[in-house]
Amino acid sequence: MKMRVRLTFPQNLIKEPVIFTMAKEFNVMPNIRRARVTETVGEMVLELEGEDSRLQEGINFLKAKGIEVELIEGDVIE
Amino acid sequence: MGHVKGLKCRECGREYPVDPIYVCEFCFGPLEVGYDYKSIAKAITRKKIEQRPQTLWRYRELLPIDGDPLVGLASGFTPLVKADNLAREIGIDELFIKDDTVVHPTLSFKDRVVAVALTKAKEFDFDTVACASTGNLAHSVSAHGARAGFKRFIFIPASLEASKIVASLVYEPNLIAVDGNYDEVNRLCSEVANKYRWAFVNINIRPFYAEGSKTIGFEIVEQMGWKAPDHIVVPCASGSLLTKVWKALKEFKQIGILKELDTKIFGAQATGCGPIATAVKAGTDVIRPVKPNTIAKSLAIGNPADGFYASQVIKETGGYAEDVSDQEIIDAIKLLARTEGIFAETAGGVTLASAIKLIKAGRITREGTTVICITGNGLKTQEALQGHTMMPHHIKPSLASFEGVLGKISRGD
Protein backbone atom coordinates (compact mmCIF):
# COMPACT_ATOMS: atom_id res chain seq x y z
CA MET A 1 0.00 0.00 0.00
CA LYS A 2 1.14 3.53 -0.83
CA MET A 3 0.09 6.76 0.86
CA ARG A 4 0.85 10.37 0.01
CA VAL A 5 1.15 12.45 3.15
CA ARG A 6 2.20 15.85 4.39
CA LEU A 7 4.05 15.88 7.71
CA THR A 8 4.41 18.93 9.91
CA PHE A 9 7.15 18.66 12.52
CA PRO A 10 7.14 20.67 15.73
CA GLN A 11 10.34 22.52 16.54
CA ASN A 12 11.55 19.99 19.11
CA LEU A 13 11.51 17.14 16.56
CA ILE A 14 13.32 18.83 13.68
CA LYS A 15 16.67 17.45 14.80
CA GLU A 16 15.44 13.90 15.48
CA PRO A 17 15.68 11.19 12.79
CA VAL A 18 12.00 10.20 13.16
CA ILE A 19 11.44 9.26 9.51
CA PHE A 20 14.43 6.92 9.56
CA THR A 21 13.30 5.38 12.84
CA MET A 22 9.78 4.83 11.49
CA ALA A 23 11.09 3.36 8.24
CA LYS A 24 13.34 0.91 10.04
CA GLU A 25 10.97 -0.10 12.79
CA PHE A 26 7.87 -0.66 10.63
CA ASN A 27 9.55 -1.59 7.35
CA VAL A 28 7.99 1.39 5.56
CA MET A 29 9.73 2.88 2.54
CA PRO A 30 9.63 6.69 2.46
CA ASN A 31 10.08 8.57 -0.81
CA ILE A 32 10.52 12.28 -0.05
CA ARG A 33 9.18 14.60 -2.75
CA ARG A 34 9.34 18.01 -1.12
CA ALA A 35 10.60 19.40 2.18
CA ARG A 36 10.98 22.74 3.89
CA VAL A 37 12.62 23.34 7.22
CA THR A 38 12.70 26.67 9.01
CA GLU A 39 13.89 27.58 12.47
CA THR A 40 10.53 26.85 14.01
CA VAL A 41 8.88 24.19 11.91
CA GLY A 42 9.54 21.44 9.39
CA GLU A 43 7.26 20.36 6.55
CA MET A 44 7.69 17.27 4.43
CA VAL A 45 5.64 15.88 1.55
CA LEU A 46 6.32 12.24 0.87
CA GLU A 47 5.05 8.88 -0.28
CA LEU A 48 5.09 6.01 2.17
CA GLU A 49 4.97 2.41 1.00
CA GLY A 50 4.54 -0.63 3.17
CA GLU A 51 2.32 -3.47 4.27
CA ASP A 52 -1.16 -2.09 5.19
CA SER A 53 -1.04 -2.70 8.93
CA ARG A 54 2.65 -1.82 9.33
CA LEU A 55 2.14 1.41 7.39
CA GLN A 56 -0.72 2.36 9.69
CA GLU A 57 1.44 1.53 12.72
CA GLY A 58 4.20 3.69 11.29
CA ILE A 59 1.80 6.62 10.87
CA ASN A 60 0.50 6.12 14.41
CA PHE A 61 4.13 6.21 15.58
CA LEU A 62 4.66 9.57 13.86
CA LYS A 63 1.45 10.96 15.36
CA ALA A 64 2.41 9.74 18.83
CA LYS A 65 5.71 11.59 18.44
CA GLY A 66 3.76 14.82 17.91
CA ILE A 67 4.02 15.08 14.13
CA GLU A 68 0.89 16.22 12.30
CA VAL A 69 0.10 13.73 9.55
CA GLU A 70 -2.32 14.77 6.80
CA LEU A 71 -3.23 13.04 3.57
CA ILE A 72 -2.31 15.09 0.50
CA GLU A 73 -6.00 15.12 -0.44
CA GLY A 74 -6.74 16.30 3.10
CA ASP A 75 -9.48 18.85 2.52
CA VAL A 76 -11.85 16.99 0.25
CA ILE A 77 -14.91 17.76 2.36
CA GLU A 78 -15.93 21.35 1.85
CA MET B 1 -12.39 26.77 -28.89
CA GLY B 2 -10.93 27.19 -25.44
CA HIS B 3 -7.76 29.01 -24.49
CA VAL B 4 -6.27 26.52 -22.03
CA LYS B 5 -2.61 25.68 -22.56
CA GLY B 6 -2.50 22.85 -20.06
CA LEU B 7 -2.09 22.06 -16.38
CA LYS B 8 0.92 23.21 -14.42
CA CYS B 9 2.25 22.27 -10.98
CA ARG B 10 2.13 25.20 -8.60
CA GLU B 11 5.21 23.95 -6.79
CA CYS B 12 7.70 22.69 -9.37
CA GLY B 13 6.18 24.16 -12.56
CA ARG B 14 6.06 20.82 -14.38
CA GLU B 15 3.46 20.86 -17.16
CA TYR B 16 0.74 18.33 -17.88
CA PRO B 17 -1.88 17.93 -20.63
CA VAL B 18 -5.55 18.70 -19.89
CA ASP B 19 -6.72 15.55 -18.10
CA PRO B 20 -8.77 14.74 -14.99
CA ILE B 21 -5.69 14.87 -12.75
CA TYR B 22 -4.97 17.12 -9.81
CA VAL B 23 -1.60 16.43 -8.28
CA CYS B 24 1.94 16.54 -9.68
CA GLU B 25 3.37 13.05 -9.98
CA PHE B 26 6.82 14.32 -9.06
CA CYS B 27 6.47 16.67 -6.13
CA PHE B 28 2.79 16.04 -5.19
CA GLY B 29 2.09 19.76 -5.60
CA PRO B 30 -1.39 20.87 -6.78
CA LEU B 31 -2.03 21.37 -10.49
CA GLU B 32 -3.49 24.57 -11.84
CA VAL B 33 -4.97 25.51 -15.22
CA GLY B 34 -2.73 27.66 -17.42
CA TYR B 35 -4.10 29.84 -20.24
CA ASP B 36 -2.90 31.49 -23.41
CA TYR B 37 -3.53 35.09 -22.33
CA LYS B 38 -2.38 36.56 -25.63
CA SER B 39 -5.15 34.79 -27.53
CA ILE B 40 -7.68 35.61 -24.75
CA ALA B 41 -6.78 39.31 -24.96
CA LYS B 42 -7.64 39.21 -28.66
CA ALA B 43 -10.83 37.22 -28.11
CA ILE B 44 -12.66 39.32 -25.49
CA THR B 45 -13.39 42.95 -24.75
CA ARG B 46 -15.52 44.72 -22.16
CA LYS B 47 -18.13 45.35 -24.83
CA LYS B 48 -18.29 41.73 -25.88
CA ILE B 49 -18.73 40.62 -22.28
CA GLU B 50 -21.48 43.20 -21.68
CA GLN B 51 -23.49 41.91 -24.65
CA ARG B 52 -23.64 38.37 -23.28
CA PRO B 53 -26.33 36.87 -20.98
CA GLN B 54 -25.89 37.78 -17.31
CA THR B 55 -24.41 34.50 -16.09
CA LEU B 56 -20.94 33.39 -15.06
CA TRP B 57 -20.37 32.11 -18.59
CA ARG B 58 -19.98 35.66 -19.93
CA TYR B 59 -16.28 35.24 -18.98
CA ARG B 60 -16.01 31.87 -20.73
CA GLU B 61 -12.65 32.60 -22.42
CA LEU B 62 -11.10 32.71 -18.93
CA LEU B 63 -12.71 29.44 -17.84
CA PRO B 64 -11.19 26.00 -18.55
CA ILE B 65 -13.68 24.68 -21.09
CA ASP B 66 -13.10 23.74 -24.72
CA GLY B 67 -16.60 24.04 -26.17
CA ASP B 68 -19.88 25.66 -25.19
CA PRO B 69 -20.98 25.74 -21.53
CA LEU B 70 -23.13 22.70 -20.76
CA VAL B 71 -24.10 22.97 -17.08
CA GLY B 72 -25.26 25.84 -14.88
CA LEU B 73 -26.42 28.01 -17.73
CA ALA B 74 -28.27 30.31 -15.30
CA SER B 75 -25.61 30.39 -12.57
CA GLY B 76 -23.64 33.42 -11.46
CA PHE B 77 -23.90 37.16 -12.04
CA THR B 78 -25.31 37.78 -8.58
CA PRO B 79 -26.03 41.31 -7.32
CA LEU B 80 -23.30 43.63 -6.06
CA VAL B 81 -25.31 45.53 -3.47
CA LYS B 82 -24.22 49.01 -2.38
CA ALA B 83 -24.60 48.64 1.37
CA ASP B 84 -25.01 52.20 2.64
CA ASN B 85 -26.91 51.27 5.82
CA LEU B 86 -24.28 48.76 6.85
CA ALA B 87 -21.46 51.12 5.85
CA ARG B 88 -22.84 53.77 8.23
CA GLU B 89 -23.21 51.20 11.00
CA ILE B 90 -19.63 49.94 10.80
CA GLY B 91 -18.04 53.30 10.02
CA ILE B 92 -16.80 53.04 6.47
CA ASP B 93 -17.31 55.26 3.43
CA GLU B 94 -18.20 52.92 0.61
CA LEU B 95 -19.20 49.30 1.09
CA PHE B 96 -20.53 46.68 -1.30
CA ILE B 97 -21.87 43.19 -0.66
CA LYS B 98 -21.18 40.59 -3.35
CA ASP B 99 -24.36 38.67 -2.70
CA ASP B 100 -23.91 34.98 -3.47
CA THR B 101 -26.83 34.07 -1.21
CA VAL B 102 -28.82 34.01 -4.46
CA VAL B 103 -26.76 31.94 -6.91
CA HIS B 104 -28.85 29.65 -9.12
CA PRO B 105 -29.79 26.89 -8.35
CA THR B 106 -28.75 26.11 -4.72
CA LEU B 107 -27.99 29.52 -3.20
CA SER B 108 -24.26 29.35 -2.59
CA PHE B 109 -21.10 30.17 -4.55
CA LYS B 110 -20.54 26.43 -4.98
CA ASP B 111 -23.00 26.63 -7.89
CA ARG B 112 -20.29 28.52 -9.77
CA VAL B 113 -17.53 25.97 -9.28
CA VAL B 114 -19.82 23.01 -9.88
CA ALA B 115 -21.15 24.58 -13.12
CA VAL B 116 -17.58 24.65 -14.43
CA ALA B 117 -16.66 21.22 -12.97
CA LEU B 118 -19.64 19.45 -14.50
CA THR B 119 -19.21 21.13 -17.88
CA LYS B 120 -15.64 19.83 -17.79
CA ALA B 121 -16.87 16.40 -16.66
CA LYS B 122 -19.09 16.29 -19.78
CA GLU B 123 -16.14 17.28 -21.96
CA PHE B 124 -14.11 14.46 -20.38
CA ASP B 125 -17.06 12.15 -21.13
CA PHE B 126 -17.74 11.08 -17.55
CA ASP B 127 -21.21 9.68 -16.81
CA THR B 128 -20.86 9.84 -13.02
CA VAL B 129 -20.04 12.79 -10.79
CA ALA B 130 -19.17 12.63 -7.11
CA CYS B 131 -18.03 14.66 -4.13
CA ALA B 132 -17.35 14.43 -0.44
CA SER B 133 -19.28 17.19 1.24
CA THR B 134 -21.43 18.00 4.23
CA GLY B 135 -23.28 20.99 2.84
CA ASN B 136 -23.22 23.48 0.01
CA LEU B 137 -21.09 21.42 -2.36
CA ALA B 138 -23.34 18.36 -1.90
CA HIS B 139 -26.42 20.46 -2.67
CA SER B 140 -24.88 21.92 -5.80
CA VAL B 141 -23.52 18.65 -7.22
CA SER B 142 -26.89 16.99 -6.52
CA ALA B 143 -28.87 19.75 -8.25
CA HIS B 144 -26.64 20.66 -11.21
CA GLY B 145 -25.93 16.95 -11.76
CA ALA B 146 -29.64 16.08 -11.78
CA ARG B 147 -30.43 18.54 -14.56
CA ALA B 148 -27.32 17.59 -16.53
CA GLY B 149 -28.23 13.89 -16.39
CA PHE B 150 -25.25 12.56 -14.43
CA LYS B 151 -25.26 9.62 -12.04
CA ARG B 152 -24.33 11.22 -8.71
CA PHE B 153 -22.55 9.91 -5.61
CA ILE B 154 -22.37 12.13 -2.54
CA PHE B 155 -20.24 10.95 0.41
CA ILE B 156 -20.95 12.21 3.93
CA PRO B 157 -20.06 11.11 7.47
CA ALA B 158 -23.00 9.04 8.77
CA SER B 159 -23.15 11.12 11.94
CA LEU B 160 -24.32 14.22 10.02
CA GLU B 161 -27.68 15.59 11.17
CA ALA B 162 -30.66 14.60 9.00
CA SER B 163 -31.71 18.24 8.52
CA LYS B 164 -28.49 18.95 6.66
CA ILE B 165 -28.91 16.21 4.10
CA VAL B 166 -32.52 16.80 3.04
CA ALA B 167 -31.41 19.63 0.74
CA SER B 168 -29.27 17.08 -1.13
CA LEU B 169 -31.64 14.11 -0.95
CA VAL B 170 -34.47 15.96 -2.66
CA TYR B 171 -32.49 15.78 -5.92
CA GLU B 172 -32.21 11.99 -5.47
CA PRO B 173 -28.47 11.41 -5.74
CA ASN B 174 -26.84 8.27 -4.34
CA LEU B 175 -26.08 9.54 -0.87
CA ILE B 176 -23.40 7.42 0.80
CA ALA B 177 -23.36 7.83 4.58
CA VAL B 178 -19.95 6.55 5.69
CA ASP B 179 -19.64 5.05 9.14
CA GLY B 180 -16.59 7.12 10.05
CA ASN B 181 -15.31 10.62 10.74
CA TYR B 182 -14.41 13.35 8.23
CA ASP B 183 -10.85 12.10 7.81
CA GLU B 184 -12.06 8.61 7.04
CA VAL B 185 -14.60 9.87 4.50
CA ASN B 186 -11.87 11.88 2.78
CA ARG B 187 -9.56 8.92 2.70
CA LEU B 188 -12.24 6.65 1.29
CA CYS B 189 -13.10 9.18 -1.42
CA SER B 190 -9.47 9.40 -2.51
CA GLU B 191 -9.42 5.60 -2.83
CA VAL B 192 -12.73 5.56 -4.75
CA ALA B 193 -11.49 8.34 -7.03
CA ASN B 194 -8.38 6.29 -7.82
CA LYS B 195 -10.34 3.13 -8.61
CA TYR B 196 -13.48 4.29 -10.45
CA ARG B 197 -13.63 6.49 -13.51
CA TRP B 198 -15.82 9.12 -11.90
CA ALA B 199 -15.57 12.87 -11.89
CA PHE B 200 -14.94 13.76 -8.23
CA VAL B 201 -15.44 17.50 -8.46
CA ASN B 202 -13.16 18.29 -5.52
CA ILE B 203 -10.55 15.61 -6.24
CA ASN B 204 -9.66 14.76 -9.84
CA ILE B 205 -11.65 17.66 -11.36
CA ARG B 206 -10.39 20.12 -8.74
CA PRO B 207 -8.07 22.19 -11.00
CA PHE B 208 -11.03 22.97 -13.30
CA TYR B 209 -13.64 23.24 -10.55
CA ALA B 210 -11.60 25.80 -8.61
CA GLU B 211 -11.39 28.07 -11.66
CA GLY B 212 -15.14 28.68 -11.37
CA SER B 213 -14.45 30.78 -8.26
CA LYS B 214 -12.75 33.41 -10.43
CA THR B 215 -16.14 34.49 -11.72
CA ILE B 216 -16.84 36.26 -8.39
CA GLY B 217 -13.77 38.42 -9.03
CA PHE B 218 -14.68 39.08 -12.67
CA GLU B 219 -18.21 40.10 -11.69
CA ILE B 220 -17.04 42.45 -8.93
CA VAL B 221 -14.82 44.30 -11.39
CA GLU B 222 -17.51 44.54 -14.07
CA GLN B 223 -20.23 45.56 -11.60
CA MET B 224 -18.02 48.32 -10.19
CA GLY B 225 -17.79 49.83 -13.66
CA TRP B 226 -14.68 47.93 -14.75
CA LYS B 227 -12.70 48.99 -11.70
CA ALA B 228 -11.18 46.93 -8.92
CA PRO B 229 -12.14 47.89 -5.35
CA ASP B 230 -9.53 48.91 -2.79
CA HIS B 231 -10.33 46.04 -0.42
CA ILE B 232 -11.98 42.64 -0.84
CA VAL B 233 -12.81 40.43 2.17
CA VAL B 234 -13.08 36.73 1.34
CA PRO B 235 -14.01 33.82 3.64
CA CYS B 236 -11.43 31.01 3.79
CA ALA B 237 -12.02 27.28 4.09
CA SER B 238 -9.45 25.59 1.85
CA GLY B 239 -8.22 29.06 0.84
CA SER B 240 -8.97 28.34 -2.82
CA LEU B 241 -11.67 31.03 -3.24
CA LEU B 242 -9.36 33.77 -1.98
CA THR B 243 -6.57 32.78 -4.37
CA LYS B 244 -9.00 32.62 -7.30
CA VAL B 245 -10.56 36.04 -6.62
CA TRP B 246 -7.05 37.47 -6.81
CA LYS B 247 -6.23 35.40 -9.91
CA ALA B 248 -9.35 36.85 -11.59
CA LEU B 249 -8.23 40.42 -10.92
CA LYS B 250 -4.72 39.71 -12.16
CA GLU B 251 -6.04 38.04 -15.32
CA PHE B 252 -8.28 41.03 -16.11
CA LYS B 253 -5.24 43.26 -15.68
CA GLN B 254 -3.08 41.02 -17.82
CA ILE B 255 -5.48 40.98 -20.77
CA GLY B 256 -6.06 44.74 -20.54
CA ILE B 257 -9.66 44.70 -19.31
CA LEU B 258 -8.61 46.25 -16.01
CA LYS B 259 -6.42 49.32 -16.30
CA GLU B 260 -5.26 49.61 -12.70
CA LEU B 261 -4.96 47.04 -9.96
CA ASP B 262 -4.11 47.95 -6.39
CA THR B 263 -6.52 45.81 -4.41
CA LYS B 264 -5.76 44.40 -0.98
CA ILE B 265 -7.18 40.93 -0.31
CA PHE B 266 -8.28 40.04 3.23
CA GLY B 267 -9.04 36.57 4.61
CA ALA B 268 -11.85 35.78 7.07
CA GLN B 269 -12.00 32.71 9.30
CA ALA B 270 -13.69 31.45 12.44
CA THR B 271 -11.49 31.37 15.54
CA GLY B 272 -12.57 27.73 15.97
CA CYS B 273 -10.97 26.91 12.61
CA GLY B 274 -8.52 29.61 11.64
CA PRO B 275 -5.24 28.06 10.48
CA ILE B 276 -4.79 30.64 7.71
CA ALA B 277 -5.57 33.65 9.93
CA THR B 278 -3.24 32.25 12.61
CA ALA B 279 -0.37 31.97 10.12
CA VAL B 280 -0.97 35.46 8.68
CA LYS B 281 -1.07 37.02 12.15
CA ALA B 282 2.09 35.16 13.17
CA GLY B 283 3.84 36.34 10.02
CA THR B 284 4.66 32.80 8.93
CA ASP B 285 3.67 30.92 5.79
CA VAL B 286 3.54 27.55 7.53
CA ILE B 287 -0.08 26.51 7.97
CA ARG B 288 -0.51 24.36 11.08
CA PRO B 289 -3.52 22.00 10.79
CA VAL B 290 -6.23 22.36 13.47
CA LYS B 291 -9.27 20.37 14.63
CA PRO B 292 -12.27 22.53 13.66
CA ASN B 293 -14.73 23.65 16.33
CA THR B 294 -17.04 26.36 14.99
CA ILE B 295 -20.65 26.94 13.98
CA ALA B 296 -19.34 27.98 10.54
CA LYS B 297 -19.36 24.40 9.25
CA SER B 298 -18.93 25.37 5.60
CA LEU B 299 -15.53 26.87 6.50
CA ALA B 300 -14.46 24.06 8.83
CA ILE B 301 -11.40 22.73 7.01
CA GLY B 302 -8.64 22.22 9.54
CA ASN B 303 -5.99 21.38 6.96
CA PRO B 304 -6.53 23.87 4.13
CA ALA B 305 -4.99 22.62 0.88
CA ASP B 306 -4.58 26.15 -0.50
CA GLY B 307 -3.80 27.77 2.85
CA PHE B 308 -0.20 28.46 1.92
CA TYR B 309 -1.20 30.07 -1.38
CA ALA B 310 -3.94 32.12 0.30
CA SER B 311 -1.47 33.45 2.86
CA GLN B 312 0.90 34.36 0.01
CA VAL B 313 -1.83 36.35 -1.78
CA ILE B 314 -2.69 38.19 1.44
CA LYS B 315 0.97 39.06 1.90
CA GLU B 316 1.53 39.99 -1.76
CA THR B 317 -1.44 42.40 -1.84
CA GLY B 318 -0.80 43.99 1.55
CA GLY B 319 -3.96 42.54 3.07
CA TYR B 320 -4.42 40.75 6.36
CA ALA B 321 -6.58 38.04 7.94
CA GLU B 322 -8.86 38.01 10.95
CA ASP B 323 -10.79 35.39 12.88
CA VAL B 324 -13.99 35.68 14.87
CA SER B 325 -15.89 33.87 17.63
CA ASP B 326 -19.22 32.06 17.23
CA GLN B 327 -21.00 34.94 19.00
CA GLU B 328 -19.40 37.49 16.65
CA ILE B 329 -20.56 35.35 13.70
CA ILE B 330 -24.16 35.35 14.95
CA ASP B 331 -24.10 39.10 15.68
CA ALA B 332 -22.80 39.80 12.17
CA ILE B 333 -25.47 37.63 10.50
CA LYS B 334 -28.12 39.63 12.38
CA LEU B 335 -26.46 42.96 11.55
CA LEU B 336 -26.37 42.18 7.82
CA ALA B 337 -30.02 41.13 7.87
CA ARG B 338 -31.11 44.17 9.91
CA THR B 339 -29.26 46.73 7.80
CA GLU B 340 -29.30 45.33 4.26
CA GLY B 341 -32.04 42.70 4.24
CA ILE B 342 -29.59 39.94 3.34
CA PHE B 343 -29.72 36.65 5.25
CA ALA B 344 -26.29 35.03 5.08
CA GLU B 345 -25.20 31.59 6.25
CA THR B 346 -22.65 31.33 9.05
CA ALA B 347 -19.74 31.82 6.60
CA GLY B 348 -21.24 35.22 5.75
CA GLY B 349 -21.25 36.08 9.44
CA VAL B 350 -17.56 35.16 9.56
CA THR B 351 -16.77 37.45 6.65
CA LEU B 352 -18.68 40.47 7.93
CA ALA B 353 -17.48 40.08 11.52
CA SER B 354 -13.89 39.77 10.32
CA ALA B 355 -14.32 42.86 8.12
CA ILE B 356 -15.57 44.84 11.14
CA LYS B 357 -12.48 43.81 13.12
CA LEU B 358 -10.20 44.71 10.21
CA ILE B 359 -11.82 48.16 9.94
CA LYS B 360 -11.55 48.78 13.69
CA ALA B 361 -7.89 47.82 13.62
CA GLY B 362 -7.26 50.17 10.68
CA ARG B 363 -6.19 47.31 8.40
CA ILE B 364 -9.08 48.27 6.12
CA THR B 365 -9.16 52.04 5.85
CA ARG B 366 -12.46 53.91 6.18
CA GLU B 367 -11.79 55.66 2.89
CA GLY B 368 -11.85 53.74 -0.37
CA THR B 369 -14.15 51.01 -1.61
CA THR B 370 -14.59 47.71 0.20
CA VAL B 371 -16.31 44.57 -1.09
CA ILE B 372 -17.40 41.80 1.26
CA CYS B 373 -18.01 38.39 -0.33
CA ILE B 374 -21.10 36.72 1.13
CA THR B 375 -21.00 33.16 -0.18
CA GLY B 376 -24.12 31.33 0.97
CA ASN B 377 -27.74 31.68 2.06
CA GLY B 378 -28.80 31.80 5.70
CA LEU B 379 -31.82 29.57 5.10
CA LYS B 380 -29.32 26.69 5.02
CA THR B 381 -27.94 27.22 8.52
CA GLN B 382 -30.96 28.51 10.44
CA GLU B 383 -30.22 26.27 13.43
CA ALA B 384 -27.16 28.44 14.20
CA LEU B 385 -29.50 31.30 15.11
CA GLN B 386 -31.76 29.33 17.41
CA GLY B 387 -32.18 31.24 20.66
CA HIS B 388 -30.40 34.28 19.23
CA THR B 389 -33.25 35.99 17.38
CA MET B 390 -36.10 38.21 18.61
CA MET B 391 -39.23 36.49 19.88
CA PRO B 392 -42.60 36.90 18.14
CA HIS B 393 -45.34 38.93 19.87
CA HIS B 394 -48.06 36.46 20.90
CA ILE B 395 -51.61 37.83 20.92
CA LYS B 396 -55.22 36.66 21.06
CA PRO B 397 -57.18 36.88 17.77
CA SER B 398 -58.72 40.22 18.75
CA LEU B 399 -58.08 43.84 17.81
CA ALA B 400 -57.75 44.78 21.51
CA SER B 401 -55.00 42.23 22.02
CA PHE B 402 -53.18 43.44 18.88
CA GLU B 403 -53.43 47.08 19.93
CA GLY B 404 -52.10 46.19 23.36
CA VAL B 405 -48.94 44.85 21.71
CA LEU B 406 -48.84 47.72 19.22
CA GLY B 407 -48.78 50.14 22.13
CA LYS B 408 -45.85 48.32 23.69
CA ILE B 409 -43.97 48.32 20.36
CA SER B 410 -44.61 52.05 19.87
CA ARG B 411 -43.39 52.83 23.37
CA GLY B 412 -40.35 50.66 22.75
CA ASP B 413 -41.12 48.38 25.73
Q: Domain of A10: which CATH number?
A: 3.30.70.260
- The amino acid that residue A57 corresponds to is E
Number of structural domains chain B divides into: 2
B398 in a domain, yes or no?
Answer: no
Q: Which pLDDT score is estimated for B213?
A: 98
- B402 in a domain, yes or no? no
What is the mean pLDDT of the segment spanning B75-88?
A: 98
Assign B158 to helix, strand or coil. coil
Contacts (Cβ under 8 Å, ≥6 apart) of B194: none
**One domain, residues B196 and B343:** no
pLDDT at A77: 61
Shared domain check, B252 and B362: yes
Kindly state whether residues B167 and B86 are assigned to the same domain. no
Same domain, B142 and B87: no
Same domain, B131 and B276: no
Q: Is A23 on the interface with B (CB under 8 A)?
A: no
Whether residue B200 is found in the same domain as residue B329? no
pLDDT digits (tens, 9 = 90+) for B195-245: 999 999 999 999 999 999 999 999 999 999 999 999 999 999 999 999 999
User: What three-state secondary structure class fits B305?
Assistant: coil
Residues B200, B216: one domain? no
The pLDDT value recorded for residue B379 is: 93
Residue B66 lies in a domain: no
Complex ipTM = 0.84
Q: For residue B134, is pLDDT > 80?
A: no
Query: Is residue B410 domain-resident?
Result: no
* pTM above threshold 0.90: yes
- Who among A8, A38, A77 is closest to B182 (CB)? A77
Task: Report yes or no on A77 lying in a domain.
Answer: no
What whole-number distance in Å separates Cα of residue B258 and Cα of residue B226?
Answer: 6
* Least confident residue range of A36-45, B34-43, B202-211, B248-257: A36-45
Rounded to a whole number of angstroms, the distance from the CA of B393 to the nearest CA of chain A is: 39
Query: Rounded to a whole number, what is the distance in Å from the CA of B356 to chain A's nearest CA?
Result: 25
| Cα B4 to Cα B33, B60, B87, B249, distances in angstroms | 7, 11, 40, 18
Chain B positions touching A40 (Cβ under 8 A) are: 284, 286
Q: Which of B21, B286, B297 to mutate to test the interface with A (most CBs of A within 10 A)?
A: B286
Range of the domain at B321: 80-106+211-385
pLDDT of residue B176: 95
Domain stops at, among B184, B204, B224: B204
Residue A68 with chain B: CB contacts under 8 Å: 288-289
Cβ distance A77 to B23 less than 8 Å, yes or no, reads no
- The residue segments making up the domain with residue A59 are 2-71
| The predicted structure's pLDDT at residue B285 | 81
- Could you tell me if B96 and B149 lie in one domain? no
| Per-residue pLDDT tens over the stretch B141-157 | 999 999 999 999 999 88
Express each pLDDT in B386-396 by its tens digit: 999 999 999 99
Q: Is residue B332 part of a domain?
A: yes
CATH of the domain at B220: 3.40.50.1100
Q: Is B153 on the interface with A (CB under 8 A)?
A: no
Strands (E), B296-412: 321-324, 369-374
Q: How many angstroms separate the Cα of A39 from the Cα of each of A16, A36, A45, A71, B130?
A: 14, 10, 18, 24, 41
**Position B141 in a domain:** yes
Q: Is B31 touching A (CB cutoff 8 A)?
A: no
Chain A partners within 8 Å of B137 (Cβ): 78
Domain count, chain A: 1
Taking the C-alpha atoms of residue A72 and residue B269, their distance in angstroms, rounded to an integer, is 22
